Structure 1
């Protein structure tokens, strides 16, 4: 009897939640209809005749208004139920209340938009043509600002490089998958890190890519037709649920989507591209040879998948834009959250399982202050009252401000790896010290790609149930013998580390190729060990991504890993730790150690890897310690 009562109570509760959610959605739409002119399913023409489905919400006024433009591969059909419907209406309502038109558009080939889809909504001319169409509307004041997070942000940078005169300002958030190459960082839109595959795109494409045999709207469908049928047909595929933790284990990598009956046309072509393939430079990615001429308010997160390239892009534009006014109008916010989770910060923000305190910020106020300045021409004091860089320091749990990144008072301090040759696991003798080691007592471990080190927490996105994002206690992980652990002495006073973390390892192996990973850890007095950031380097790319140089047994090689980034206060009594291994799976694809393509291989080779540390081989990590 009690079992049935519980089921009835659960069913009633679910009904009530759904019911009141629908009421909230309807209230938002009703309020929007009162103050806005709503024009949906406008088919905006591109230069090649393809039409893109567009919804416009604009104030009921005779005055010309500026535009906030959101271009996305995701569904924004306002007639369906659920979160997306409310999100679009809420964003439109917020913009219209502030005197803006809100325009949302699907990339070509997505939902009601015509054409064939590719990642980042190429061709780039679609973005340019959309700007031209919008600025020519009778109700437009000719000023357009772009806004969005993740895939709704990542297209913005390359299109900004086209320098449309109406693109007056942009607010890219969680934008790393739009960054191809910035300086020495060659992630190619998060496809790689240090030349190793990032597995997130496999999971993301399974949930996002539409089948080439999908239903299509007949050519020439009128706006009236599209509005009518959009009430009945969402065109959103409903993919069968997949245990992505299991799916990503499949080998070879190139067959993972095929193995789960996923759509794999885009994946098939991208998985074969090496980090410096010329095709990366033909799509929608931004590369550092492209000139951004748009004032930009960037938003990034410490536990996002691409924090280092995100900040590096801000620095690149800030330091290298040809126009001094553009250099002077770059601003950055770094929050202590997961991917695109800025507004989810609370009085007690939990990221993974670590509390980072009250991480709230007045995001909307700042974003609209930015747009008011650039799209309306308001003299609102934004630049006087907004720091150049706003960053959250975990540990001390506070927002801080700086004119630069890293902060000007961050001093690079080098710590060296030391041991007597047994740094394996947290039970070993690995030490992190400002003193160089003397004679070489290398730490060796066995890396078996069939039994990789599992990803636990981290700076991730979009991997389904395969990886938990955020900070998690690594103590249990650190009992593995294939993880080398190097820990500082107990800190006599607190230390703030804010900036880029550079690391160099001197390594050897009996395999032709392998990977090396590093993880930065904050160790609490009770032993809890929370991860801050992580990186990886495929050794074949140690001399650059334009060539592959394999290892020979018995030789020692210098490997510079791609930088990590964080802002964390290590309190008195804490310790600083790094972990070194050769896998972090499925965060990164495991190297099968053969020297082959990796993506098309099933059978791996066990590698016996060593990390050397001595005066001759000073394996090290450089920490930006803030001196106040």
Structure 2
């Protein structure tokens, strides 16, 4: 039975009086914050919520997870719950979590926030995604049994607080009525055409964001309390011990240049944990299918409102999963109740869209982007967990997406929209497509003559990353849309550009690219970038991807290259919605690196995480009737 947490008597009463709310600090920084504004916010919130801290919920293996519960003071006898699970520090309820707690309580929901096992005051050993198939199920059981609970639970969160929800949804727990996974791609292992294994890879290439993220998160040794310590004692200790490690700052741009990659954490005295194990795994390794990732051989049992972003690391897998569940869930009600909102934002930036000014993403102006995701979230939960159903379905189509370039919201009942027609464009050149100053063309017809473009890829001088779908990189790479002309001036970047468009051309959906290539190396990478070229020459990146040549036949069939032999590379899709305006040009960049966003291939053919020597590769792109390198765009029929 839930125990009411008495907040340390007179000390806490003093901290939360209006008099102290006007002071410059709070005496109990681990309950509220030293920051006055945070103290005021928490004080206002506790005036309308009953607070139950450090409920130590026992899992099936005896491990207890620290869980806080916030109930509306003005509530019916029993209420539904909104559940937020996280690996991050929630000792002081603040920031996004506090806002969600307020949103829940203000709308008649209990708010339950829990730390994953092995994180802060939760017992046990941490595992990425927090054991969703067991700990998630056991916590839903616990919530449903509480005296205040009406046995209905909705899950919500962004990034790490969303990713674990996917494997939980596969369990089809009877209390799990609805979910809102935002920026949840790192919870997807394999789905359809994507096998990124939680965004560890893209096209078989390691995305360095996981090194910077794990450095700040993984901890192999940290203070622990006795397993039999009471809830009361743990509550008392939360005032004194935050248990939040503060890692030394690292120059990741410098560190990612060191070799071998597998020893990055050894070099910087980083905490031990999953990094070294994960670094040497390739995309087909069986251990990827043993943890908390969701894979498309599983069912999916929960209606979902997906919140995604065009410039997020996981936009492709997220939309692929939306379609997968919509088409394949065994429960018809689940299939028919998948909804998605796609904004022109960076990772988890739905709540940082300016209300009264234009949204700039990188360097590109998206205009006024009006979006109230909190209203949609509450409408969604009200529809599924309250007897008086909301107007969510009247107010929302299956997919609401922002079209860049035109800078407007659009809606569709399918993804991509039914009116999409696919048009293929072909890469060609007369002399050389090397750099912005070459003669590379993007045309609607197959080149009549055979030609090829060559470039030298030197892993010690890789093409730098600038913009794109970036998350959590510790300052390594900038996310969003930037003018690419400085990148395109390099001789190791091939540039193919269309003629000026005679009319507005909307590209919405999945973009599929195929290159015919050869290399002097046993293995190398190839990149594709889609660019919107303005009449004044500015060239804004729309989306990009990368593919490792040895995975050209599938991630479970690695095969090295033979020198000079021509191969076809089929990229995993790019995903976007962008209007190329009349007078603009469509451009495709081709190269072999985008570093440090993607780890550079050292071209030796060995496990790239273990390699310490690099080989320069002479790479060739072919365009001819026999080898028609191409990109296929989803054009919305006017």
Residue in structure 2 matching 1:108, options 117, 122, 145: 117
Which position in structure 2 is the counterpart of 1:148? 157
In 2, Cα distance between equivalents of 1:89 and 1:459 = 27
Aligned residues: 607
Whether contact under 8 Å (2:42, 2:94) holds in the other structure is no
Q: Specify whether residues 353 and 63 from structure 1 end up closer, same or farther in structure 2 by C-alpha distance, changes over 3 A only.
A: same
The alpha carbon displacement at 1:503 in A equals: 0.2
In 2, Cα distance between equivalents of 1:29 and 1:491 = 54
In 2, Cα distance between equivalents of 1:359 and 1:276 = 40
Matches within 5 A, 1:59-74: 59-60=72-73, 61-74=75-88
Which position in structure 1 is the counterpart of 2:230? 222
Residue in structure 2 matching 1:445, options 437, 446, 455: 455
Which position in structure 2 is the counterpart of 1:610? 620
1:76 aligns with 2:90: yes
Which position in structure 1 is the counterpart of 2:47? 34
User: Residue deviations 1:238-285, cap 9 Å, x none?
Assistant: 011111111111111101122121123211111121111111111000
Which position in structure 2 is the counterpart of 1:163? 172
In 2, Cα distance between equivalents of 1:380 and 1:123 = 29
The alpha carbon displacement at 1:89 in A equals: 2.6
Whether contact under 8 Å (1:501, 1:564) holds in the other structure is yes
Whether contact under 8 Å (1:77, 1:85) holds in the other structure is no
The alpha carbon displacement at 1:539 in A equals: 0.6
Whether contact under 8 Å (2:132, 2:164) holds in the other structure is no
In 1, Cα distance between equivalents of 2:389 and 2:94 = 34
Residue in structure 2 matching 1:459, options 460, 469, 487: 469
User: Residue deviations 1:448-476, cap 9 Å, x none?
Assistant: 11111010111110111110111111111
Secondary structure of the residue aligned to 2:579 is strand
Runs of 4 or more off by more than 6 Å in structure 1?
16-21
In 1, Cα distance between equivalents of 2:99 and 2:350 = 16
Residue in structure 2 matching 1:87, options 73, 96, 116: 96
The alpha carbon displacement at 1:18 in A equals: 8.8
Residue in structure 2 matching 1:333, options 334, 341, 354: 341
Q: Specify whether residues 368 and 21 from structure 1 end up closer, same or farther in structure 2 by C-alpha distance, changes over 3 A only.
A: farther
In 2, Cα distance between equivalents of 1:88 and 1:198 = 27
Which position in structure 2 is the counterpart of 1:181? 190
Matches within 5 A, 1:267-286: 267-286=275-294
In 2, Cα distance between equivalents of 1:37 and 1:401 = 40
The alpha carbon displacement at 1:164 in A equals: 0.7
Whether contact under 8 Å (1:297, 1:330) holds in the other structure is yes
1:237 aligns with 2:250: no
Secondary structure of the residue aligned to 1:378 is coil
Which position in structure 2 is the counterpart of 1:489? 499
The alpha carbon displacement at 1:87 in A equals: 3.2
Residue in structure 1 matching 2:437, options 416, 427, 449: 427
Whether contact under 8 Å (1:28, 1:86) holds in the other structure is no
Secondary structure of the residue aligned to 1:90 is helix
In 2, Cα distance between equivalents of 1:237 and 1:257 = 16
Which position in structure 2 is the counterpart of 1:379? 389
* Stretch moving more, 20-29 or 509-518: 20-29
Whether contact under 8 Å (2:310, 2:346) holds in the other structure is yes
Secondary structure of the residue aligned to 1:442 is strand
User: Residue deviations 1:180-200, cap 9 Å, x none?
Assistant: 001121000001111111111
In 1, Cα distance between equivalents of 2:257 and 2:46 = 49
1:308 aligns with 2:316: yes
Residue in structure 1 matching 2:70, options 47, 57, 70: 57
Which position in structure 2 is the counterpart of 1:202? 211
RMSD, aligned CA: 1.4
| TM-score normalised per structure 1 | 0.95
Q: Specify whether residues 387 and 18 from structure 1 end up closer, same or farther in structure 2 by C-alpha distance, changes over 3 A only.
A: farther
Which position in structure 2 is the counterpart of 1:546? 556
Q: Specify whether residues 405 and 17 from structure 1 end up closer, same or farther in structure 2 by C-alpha distance, changes over 3 A only.
A: farther
Which position in structure 1 is the counterpart of 2:17? none
1:45 aligns with 2:58: yes
In 2, Cα distance between equivalents of 1:135 and 1:273 = 39
In 1, Cα distance between equivalents of 2:486 and 2:310 = 23
1:622 aligns with 2:635: no
Which position in structure 1 is the counterpart of 2:221? 213
Whether contact under 8 Å (1:28, 1:93) holds in the other structure is no
1:529 aligns with 2:529: no
User: Residue deviations 1:371-419, cap 9 Å, x none?
Assistant: 0011113322211221110000111111110111111111111000010
In 1, Cα distance between equivalents of 2:367 and 2:337 = 30
Which position in structure 2 is the counterpart of 1:4? none
In 1, Cα distance between equivalents of 2:608 and 2:39 = 51
In 2, Cα distance between equivalents of 1:559 and 1:527 = 30
| TM-score normalised per structure 2 | 0.93
Secondary structure of the residue aligned to 1:146 is strand
Query: Structure 1: 5+ residue runs without aligned partners?
Result: 1-15, 79-83
In 2, Cα distance between equivalents of 1:592 and 1:264 = 25
Residue in structure 2 matching 1:506, options 516, 521, 525: 516
The alpha carbon displacement at 1:24 in A equals: 2.4
In 1, Cα distance between equivalents of 2:25 and 2:453 = 57
User: Residue deviations 1:35-62, cap 9 Å, x none?
Assistant: 2110001111100000000000011235
Query: Structure 2: 5+ residue runs without aligned partners?
Result: 1-22, 27-32
Whether contact under 8 Å (1:508, 1:610) holds in the other structure is yes
Secondary structure of the residue aligned to 2:442 is strand
User: Residue deviations 1:151-185, cap 9 Å, x none?
Assistant: 00000011110111000000000000000001121
Secondary structure of the residue aligned to 2:393 is helix
Residue in structure 2 matching 1:24, options 37, 44, 55: 37
In 1, Cα distance between equivalents of 2:145 and 2:590 = 56
In 2, Cα distance between equivalents of 1:17 and 1:255 = 45
The alpha carbon displacement at 1:538 in A equals: 0.4
Which position in structure 2 is the counterpart of 1:130? 139
Whether contact under 8 Å (1:421, 1:444) holds in the other structure is no
Residue in structure 2 matching 1:358, options 354, 368, 372: 368
Which position in structure 2 is the counterpart of 1:584? 594
In 1, Cα distance between equivalents of 2:637 and 2:467 = 30
The alpha carbon displacement at 1:26 in A equals: 2.2
Whether contact under 8 Å (1:415, 1:433) holds in the other structure is yes
Residue in structure 2 matching 1:575, options 575, 582, 585: 585
